[in-house]
Structure 1
């Protein structure tokens, strides 16, 4: 207990309809039975009764153990059974039992036959005529409990009406349902109804318009996502994550809403800088990570073909001197890139921004920045698989953190090294003053193009001068051509920053001059590789830190050993007159073949 009456201590059986006789008997189980359950649940009292099945509930031990007399409700199951149903009974009006004027016949469910009821709104004996006490009208107005009416009640035949008192309106069958009528005239109601209808119509049209625009926006985003290689990138990320030791390296595909929220809807006060390829914004992601978001202006159709592959490869770059690529947004016309945020601005601003270098560590800081930048480019050329060419190396694309550690950024013009050596670009991209002349003439981007651009960066770093100048004579506008021209007559030392000349010894000056001239050589065959440049710069930095490396000190032969090469004296620098692009500093030069 509690539970159903299943036979243990209690037995219940429903009586099926249609039976004319039913007898109940109480019997005991034979003694000596093996099943102890029957005897453990036995009681001294035993009884049996017929009862309405909806009343009986076997959930009370007290009820089971009753010994007193008690009454139970039983159901009188009866019907007029001289015919099968109401249809057959109506055919013989003489024997039809439903005699009242307002009585109704209904078929019974306990076998053949029928019974009668008074119609709704009437009460009495449906088997008698009205004059003999048959079905008569109910006066609902006198039965407030069953038929509530808090207004004016009027009884009708078979029903009643209940209306609010004059001057009020509402539901009279509810308490406080009737309220004083307002003075809202029919004309005002019509005007209000029309106005509300027009408003709802306009609102629905506007809502539909917004829905269509939203749907178009979703389709446009999906189209941009697929066009920009989003599906391919997702498959490649999944493939990388499935390999041993693989994974996207934290690379994520961001939605446009995420980046809008991170930049306060690309607010102007979040702009970190502007360039030839686009605008860079500072953003804060939901996880509070600070990032730099590059919103590019245009991207050629040819660049979208390899974009997904290039993004995944760039995301795998993990070098302390390369700005980490955290992810991208592909559901816009031109993909947006999400980079690691570097707090101390660009090397260009550090050199030309007016803040100046630390006087105590100026030369060492310059050499360290140059060495770190060269190491980053060397890593991309030699250690990345496949090799990555930057394509737009300049001081504006070298960032500095709080410790003035160099970090190369902006792969907007970067390319994977072509598998086929005869693969040629269809247009030239880069920044004037840093463009490799051979790349400008052949349109073929190679690792030597980055070496040349880095040579310009190194020259800019050690001279403190901009690559292109417009103040002064025409022949001195290009920093590279001016330096190489001065080198022919031995006057190139004068172009170096005074602090560089004062702190560098002659061996170091000759070494750095030789290295810069090798980098900006007009012939690609004469250019050093980035790996060699990085190695030379690190050796030069170690030499400069050594007491023998200071200006006016040291043994030349020991200096040659520390520099890691036989000192080349009487260096003959090759210089071929080529046209120099004297365009506005910072602009991008592009032409089609």
Structure 2
């Protein structure tokens, strides 16, 4: 029976060799040790995946993430798959790789991407997922015009609700519960019917029932980070719920939550939404390309997003409650909600010297505080903007 691994750090046990302990997170041995246990993970050879992608040809590239490149592949039995080849420079070490395999192989839900198998040969670490025809929500909604998909309001609403169902399953039904830590448009994939599926569990954390929060090094994407998590390093399920709220605003507005709304005094999408709340103009956030929608229903979804992103984390709803709020025609009063502060790139602040990758804490009214917050950024491979962030907990 294979060794058991802990998703919060190094493996629980280490083998001895010639009287010495071996490094358990240094390579193939650690991964293979894990893969002896799960029965529902298929091991692929490197040559098989190389053939499926035509030697990882650039024309088969369908996406990039913080940890590697994703290729479309066709197996020998004609099954189409998405093949995530982790980069040699990837910050995702063996522990994160093991986490993604162990977690995703043991969960099944219509709104979660299915892991089909993996490959570990030499320095190669590759994950094989089900192929989803319409790529990511980011491409469909926020990508180049030639890659976008026309999404009317019923489709956008269904994506919101489906993603909420997947996240509710991770938080409340998976055993142990799982906090994703990187909910964003690029990690929501769309199948041929535009049904959403949450993917990329490389940053996820297991969350046992008796744990209220985890103090951890922060990792996620600028624009989606809950303030209490970004500044204190205290992770709870409410961090995912905050990110989901930003995602809902993106889906409704057709704008990126991780970039400034340039024409509106450099506000982020979230800041803009709360500003519109204060001015009683919430429907102004709706994508201009949306026509023929129910204003009442769209307004309810916007209000749910505000409930999810309010500054006091324990006042945010659970994902089960979010599903109910999105699905039921209930009255939602957002007037008394507490507006959050926003963590953003320093170079997005007017008057800040360009080229700085340090982060700042921006409060309501453009008052800046905690400008020396120890935030460092790493470059998101999808764009030239600085978006992946890590924060040292206090």
Give the distance between the partners of 1:357 and 1:422, measured in 2 at CA.
38
Q: Is the 8 A contact 2:182 2:221 kept in 1?
A: yes
* Deviation (angstroms), 1:577: 4.1
Report the equivalent of 2:17: none
Work out whether residues 111 and 195 of structure 2, in 8 Å CA contact, stay in contact via their aligned partners in 1. Answer: yes
Counterpart for residue 13 of structure 2? none
Residue 287 (structure 2) pairs with residue 484 (structure 1): no
Which residue of 131, 142, 146 corresponds with 1:341?
131
CA distance in structure 2 between the aligned counterparts of 1:480 and 1:486, rounded to whole angstroms:
10
Match of 1:520 in 2: 309
Tell me the alpha carbon deviations over residues 380-435 of structure 1, each in whole angstroms, 9 at most, x when there is no partner.
1111111122111111111112211112111122222256546422x322122112
1:447 Cα deviation after fit: 1.4
1:406 to 191, 196, 201: 196
- Give the direction of change, closer, same or farther, for the CA distance of 1:471–1:311 in structure 2 (3 Å limit): closer
* Structure 2 equivalent of residue 574 of structure 1: 338
For each residue in 1:248-270, what CA deviation from the matched residue of structure 2 results, as whole angstroms up to 9, or x when unmatched? 33x21223232222222222222
**For the structure 1 residues 332 and 441, does the alpha-carbon distance in structure 2 shift closer, same or farther, using more than 3 Å as the test?**
farther
Match of 2:227 in 1: 437
Indicate the residue corresponding to 1:211 in structure 2: none
Q: Please state whether the residue corresponding to 1:503 is helix, strand or coil.
A: coil
Q: Return the TM-score normalized by structure 1.
A: 0.51
CA spacing shift, 1:397–1:577, aligned 2, 3 Å? closer
Q: Which of 203, 221, 224 is 2:27 aligned to?
A: 224
Q: Among 215, 224, 228, which residue is 1:424 paired with?
A: 215
Structure with the greater relative contact order (CA < 8 A, sep ≥ 6): 1 or 2? 2
Name the SS of the counterpart of 1:453 in structure 2: helix
What is the total number of aligned residue pairs between the two structures?
Answer: 329
CA contact (8 A) 2:96 2:202 kept: no
Contact 2:258 2:387 (8 Å CA) reproduced: no
TM-score normalized with structure 2 length: 0.75
Gaps of 5+ in 2: 1-24, 349-356, 358-383
Distance 1:420 1:333, change over 3 A: farther
Q: Does the 8 Å contact 1:310/1:416 carry over to 2? A: no
Structure 1 unpaired stretches of 5+: 1-221, 238-247, 540-562
**SS at the partner of 2:218?**
coil
Higher-Rg structure is 1
| SS of structure 1 residue aligned to 2:63 | strand
Kept in 2, the 8 Å contact 1:428–1:590? The answer is yes
1:323–1:408: 8 Å Cα contact kept in structure 2? yes
Greater Cα offset, 482-491 or 576-585: 576-585
1:275 and 1:351, CA in 2 relative to 1: closer, same or farther beyond 3 A? same
2:283 maps to which of 477, 486, 493: 493
Residue 223 of structure 2 contacts residue 343 of structure 2 at CA under 8 Å; is this kept in 1?
no
Cα-Cα RMSD: 2.8
Q: For residue 338 of structure 1, give the secondary structure of its aligned residue in structure 2.
A: strand
Structure-1 separation of matches of 2:162 and 2:263: 35
What's the CA shift string for 1:527-549, capped at 9, x where partnerless? Answer: 1111221222233xxxxxxxxxx
Where does residue 14 of structure 2 map in the other structure? none
